[in-house]
Amino acid sequence: MTDSTTWAPAVAGGDPESACPISPVVDIVFSRWTTPILWSLHAFGRQRFVELQRRITGITPKVLTQRLRQLERDGLITRTYHPEVPPRVEYEISDLGLSLAPLFAHLAEWAGTHLDRVEEARRGYDATGAPRS
């Protein structure tokens, strides 16, 4: 039921990353908090730390700092330091980060089309109980 032109065949006998070449991408882009950060920077443009923190509810300052550093290291965002008093730091999505926009658009489309079916499947599964061994 998959389209063979978009899904590469699994590599037999290799490690999971060899068998699934998108695993590293999933680890980079879809780790906890990364998607909301990238989405916010894409949707609202350049932002200061406190602006991001206000928009992404539930994230702690420590975790936001860690994720921003990792995203900067991965080249998905840029950090600009302004040596003023008080110092000002701004974050924005990089060209590499912007290149993920079509992927996010496809995922948003998929979600709009299929999440109802996922919820229906979950309700059906939960109604029958866990599978028996």
| Tens digit of each residue's pLDDT (9 = 90 or more) over 20-55 | 888 888 888 888 899 999 999 999 999 999 999 999
Indicate whether 74 belongs to any domain. yes
Which strand (E) or helix (H) includes residue 66?
helix 61-73
Query: How many domains does one find in the chain?
Result: 1
Indicate whether 2 belongs to any domain. no
Indicate whether 17 belongs to any domain. no
Indicate whether 40 belongs to any domain. yes
- Average pLDDT score, the chain: 87
- Record the pTM: 0.76
Could you tell me the residue range of the domain that residue 59 belongs to?
22-127
pLDDT at 130 over 80: no
Which parts of the chain fold into alpha helices (H)? 16-19, 23-29, 34-44, 49-55, 61-73, 95-98, 101-128
Confidence of residue 19 (pLDDT cuts 50, 70, 90): confident
- The DSSP symbol for 31 reads S
CATH (domain of 76): 1.10.10.10
Instruction: Give the C-alpha separation, 75 to 84, whole Å.
Output: 25
**Cβ atoms of residues 81 and 89 within 8 Å:** yes
Indicate whether 1 belongs to any domain. no
pLDDT tens-digit readout, 65-102: 999 999 999 999 999 999 999 999 999 999 999 999 99
3-class SS at 50?
Answer: helix
Instruction: Give the C-alpha separation, 103 to 109, whole Å.
Output: 10
Indicate whether 120 belongs to any domain. yes
Indicate whether 27 belongs to any domain. yes
Indicate whether 117 belongs to any domain. yes
